[in-house]
Chains A and B, each alone.
Chain A
């Protein structure tokens, strides 16, 4: 059966969606944190996304985008993006003014200051947001498979439950959990590798 391939396909999608969420979310969050105008323009969208009851939105999304991949990707994004974006923008905005001023005093360019001061300073909170966002994204992925089209792991769970094939059902559930844990672990390692020592508190305060 193509079930295995289908499943693998679906999860590859979930994971690439997660990566899109991650980079896009940080990018948008950075822009919101840096620019008041962009903040005014864009952050309400994410506040709405965060508060919207997703289960109620799914029928609407299906009506607009059909039962294909698009709807699922959107569901994952709605789950994952707000927390990533809002955490990033908050962290960026809370970079201590004194180290930014220091960057200017030592002739840092705008890019220097973003890459060498603001991002490392914000990274602990950005990564905390990523962890939450990625977990939420997994919830969104499963939800979309259960509610939109019966494919992938969601389908395996519903189907095996309906025919009382409990071993398969448990295996499917376990595999999701394992995958999510691995993903979060990789994230934690990446954080450690990129920003060693940034978990330290602000010594200058």
Chain B
């Protein structure tokens, strides 16, 4: 595989990112690359600044200082090349599923019939067909999360930023979602940046796992689970390399828990 960083085409490069919230130093001199077309997980103890980093990349939060390139262009703010899936869904409670999914396209000025046709497709892709006319309060947490995912997919951004997208669902659904995500990552030629608390989940879906240290946060280690990427979804969890990596990451992280 290609280990030379300079040869890899990166969708997003993050250099020298510092972020303070008043006295609290959240990120210090953070450096990380997100190779195009790959899925990178951010894994780290709670409160270490994963959401902060994701929002900085999304252009929603200003860093104290940063050198961030998105498609080799300096980051200036939110852009059509990035779409965000929010941890708390951020759905419009007065709009039904169809209008929620189409909302991103509406803000881009896509005509109604066109945006609804696109939204319809992605509603199908995330398995919500038949629920177009339902309102968010009529859906389960997992279904709401899928609405958020469909909304992000429908604007067809190259980079998808997912903030703990599976935290609101039960374990069975979560496993299903993980398989779906793996499928999505393989089929759509998109770059995924994925925040999670689950070591198993990170190793299962990622091309690259970035371990973040406790605050002030930097990347302590980058792990690339490559040996089992080509395997089918069902047999990954039995792969020795998968199990090895899970144990290794836990060994790194447990020092911060203790």
Interface residues of A (CB under 8 A from B): 96, 98-99, 101-108, 112, 116-117, 120-121, 123, 195-198, 200-205
Residues of A within 8 A of B144 (CB): 203-204
Compute how far the CA of A120 lies from the CA of B92 in the bound complex, rounded to whole angstroms.
Answer: 9
Compute how far the CA of A32 lies from the CA of B20 in the bound complex, rounded to whole angstroms.
Answer: 30
Among the 9-residue stretches B33-41, B101-109, B196-204, the one with 4 or more Cβ atoms under 8 Å from chain A is B101-109
Asked whether B107 lies within 8 Å of A103 as measured between CB atoms, the reply is yes
Compute how far the CA of A196 lies from the CA of B95 in the bound complex, rounded to whole angstroms.
Answer: 9
B88 beta carbon closer than 8 Å to chain A: yes
Asked whether B94 lies within 8 Å of A107 as measured between CB atoms, the reply is no
B155 beta carbon closer than 8 Å to chain A: yes
B45 beta carbon closer than 8 Å to chain A: no
Residues of B within 8 A of A202 (CB): 93
Compute how far the CA of A205 lies from the CA of B92 in the bound complex, rounded to whole angstroms.
Answer: 11
Asked whether B93 lies within 8 Å of A203 as measured between CB atoms, the reply is yes
Separation in Å of the B132 CB from the closest CB of chain A? Answer: 14
Q: Knowing that A107-B104, A204-B136 touch, tell me 5 more A-B residue pairs with CB under 8 angstroms.
A: A106-B108, A198-B94, A200-B93, A200-B136, A203-B139
Among the 9-residue stretches B79-87, B176-184, B211-219, B242-250, the one with 4 or more Cβ atoms under 8 Å from chain A is B79-87
Asked whether A105 lies within 8 Å of B96 as measured between CB atoms, the reply is no
Provided the pairs A203-B136, A203-B137, A203-B144 are in contact, do residues A105 and B83 lie with their beta carbons within 8 angstroms? yes
Asked whether A101 lies within 8 Å of B136 as measured between CB atoms, the reply is no
Asked whether A107 lies within 8 Å of B78 as measured between CB atoms, the reply is yes
Asked whether B90 lies within 8 Å of A99 as measured between CB atoms, the reply is yes
Chain A residue with the shortest CB-CB distance to B55 = A101
Which residue of the partner chain, among A105, A120, A198, A204, contacts B89 with CB atoms under 8 Å?
A204
B30 beta carbon closer than 8 Å to chain A: no
Q: Do most interface residues of chain B lie in helix, strand or loop, or is the interface mixed?
A: loop
Asked whether A105 lies within 8 Å of B58 as measured between CB atoms, the reply is yes
12 A-B pairs in the complex with CB atoms less than 8 angstroms apart: A98-B88, A101-B86, A102-B86, A106-B155, A107-B80, A107-B104, A120-B94, A197-B96, A197-B135, A202-B93, A203-B89, A203-B139
Asked whether B135 lies within 8 Å of A106 as measured between CB atoms, the reply is no
Compute how far the CA of A117 lies from the CA of B95 in the bound complex, rounded to whole angstroms.
Answer: 11
Asked whether A105 lies within 8 Å of B60 as measured between CB atoms, the reply is yes
Compute how far the CA of A98 lies from the CA of B55 in the bound complex, rounded to whole angstroms.
Answer: 12
Provided the pairs A107-B79, A204-B136 are in contact, do residues A98 and B95 lie with their beta carbons within 8 angstroms? no
Chain A residue with the shortest CB-CB distance to B103 = A106
Which residue of the partner chain, among B84, B93, B155, contacts A204 with CB atoms under 8 Å?
B93
Contact with A along B102-144 (1 / 0, CB 8 A): 0110111000000000000000000000000001110100001
B91 beta carbon closer than 8 Å to chain A: yes
Residues of B within 8 A of A121 (CB): 92-94
Tell me which residues from 52 to 100 in chain B have a Cβ below 8 Å from any Cβ of chain A.
58, 60, 78-80, 82-84, 86, 88-96
Separation in Å of the B8 CB from the closest CB of chain A? Answer: 27
Compute how far the CA of A98 lies from the CA of B84 in the bound complex, rounded to whole angstroms.
Answer: 12
Residues of A within 8 A of B88 (CB): 98, 204-205
Name which of A117, A123, A202 has the most chain B CB atoms within 10 A of its CB: A202
Provided the pairs A106-B103, A200-B135 are in contact, do residues A101 and B60 lie with their beta carbons within 8 angstroms? yes
